Amino acid sequence: MKLGFHYHLPGYKDESGHIRTAAAIGLFIDSLAAHVDELHCFMYSPVGKEHQWIDYSIRHTNVQLIDVGPHVRLSQRLTNGPKVRKIIAQHADDFDLLLLRAPTTYLSHFVKVLGPERIVPYLVGSYQEDIPLLKAKGIRRWLTIQWIKNYEKLQRQVARQAPLTLTNGIPLFEAYQGIAPRIALIKSTTLSEADFFTRNDTCLSAPFKALYTGRLVPSKGLDDILEVCAELKQEGLPIQFHIAGFTMKDYPDYVDKLQEKARQLDFEKDFVHHGQKKVGEELNALYRSCDMYVLASKGDFEGFPRTLWEAMANSLPIVAARVSSIPHFLTDGESALLFPTNDKVALKEKIKAMTQNQALRQKLIAHGRELAKDNTLESQGKQLVDLLKEISSAKA
């Protein structure tokens, strides 16, 4: 099978000819390439400081990179439509189906060239979750919101006509179940079978280390976690807050703002920024050095965050907001401690309970690790490609 693929993260060829991208998407690409004859990847070229978090080299040699232009801001990308359609048209005969991870700015251009019958949307989020965080004001804000609404309408139209629609979370699955004629759930993961680590307990010595990894953006609730940890420290609980991940170009100074807040809260020495850790051995070592993983997401349109699978595979117990797919896969008190979105009082109580209840911690660790075993790159990649091959054979 010859497969096309598009996602909104950048990639490029280095001087030795290897394709490089962020590990989260690079591992996914390799998991697809292992099961197809050719994989043609439409990707942006990195701009500015994005090279700093491009830390993965594609292993498979059957992957071709197609540059659709620089990874600039949405408003700038919208003006590149004619060029993008021309690039897509030049490669339209190179593959059977296009797996399109959405949302993506260029959905309309792929549809115009390929038609919805050759596109398999893989829904992993929604632009709607960004509306409360928009910095634009006045007419620019209004225009952006209108574009998002039109985009969501187009995405639903494509799902109605596509041979298959995929999602990585239950809320998106349920939202599109009555729209798409055929739909399946494929979980996002970076886990390999070799990544698992077994331990029975954490929080065995002070200070207790709460960890967040992933995109360093306000929608992940890092401000709330920082404030809660600072309060607990003032109340006598020896706790630290550790973060690792990459800064998005829309929030270039977000970590600086967090560090300033930590200083104001007299928590500066207990707020630790590890920078970006490479997925695999380096990131796993960080998980294994901490006592709990904390996620306070505010948006309800993302799938199940891959970082939760990573934490559970490394025997790290979870404290997480009850948003999106999280309560569909995790059960409060069994495989994680869940709290209502934006409820800092509940978040505080869950973190405190995690440090004080050994039996509970041990149960969460064991159950979480077992759940993660069903969500590896090997299993999810093969399952996805098997579905695509079935669709391709039916079309032939």
pLDDT in tens, 56-96: 999 999 999 999 999 987 778 878 889 999 999 999 999 99
Select the more confidently predicted residue: 278 or 44.
Answer: 44
pLDDT tens column, 233-286: 999 999 999 999 988 777 889 999 999 999 999 999 999 999 989 888 899 999
User: How far apart (Å, rounded) are the C-alpha atoms in residues 101 and 28?
Assistant: 11
User: How far apart (Å, rounded) are the C-alpha atoms in residues 239 and 270?
Assistant: 7
User: How far apart (Å, rounded) are the C-alpha atoms in residues 271 and 280?
Assistant: 24
Per DSSP, what are the bridge partners of residue 337? 319
Amino acid at residue number 383 = Q
Range list of β-strands (E), the chain:
2-13, 19-21, 38-45, 56-57, 63-70, 97-102, 119-123, 165-167, 183-185, 208-213, 239-244, 271-273, 292-295, 318-321, 337-339
Q: By three-state DSSP, how is residue 327 classified?
A: helix
Token couple for 267: 């928590």
116-120 CB contacts, 8 Å cutoff, 24+ apart: 116/157, 116/158, 116/160, 116/161, 116/162, 117/161, 117/162, 117/163, 117/395, 119/158, 119/162, 120/162, 120/163, 120/164, 120/165, 120/166, 120/388, 120/391
Look at residue 291 and tell me whether its pLDDT is greater than 80. yes
Per DSSP, what are the bridge partners of residue 10? 44
pLDDT tens column, 137-190: 888 888 888 988 999 999 999 999 999 999 988 888 999 999 999 999 998 888
Range list of H helices, 79-221 = 81-91, 107-114, 138-161, 170-177
Look at residue 303 and tell me whether its pLDDT is greater than 70. no
User: How far apart (Å, rounded) are the C-alpha atoms in residues 189 and 310?
Assistant: 8
Instruction: Find the mean pLDDT for residues 364-378.
Output: 91
Nearest to 383 by CA among 185, 247, 240: 185
| pLDDT in the model for residue 301 | 56
Amino acid at residue number 70 = P
Single pTM value for the model: 0.77
Instruction: Find the mean pLDDT for residues 336-357.
Output: 97
Range list of β-strands (E), 14-60:
19-21, 38-45, 56-57
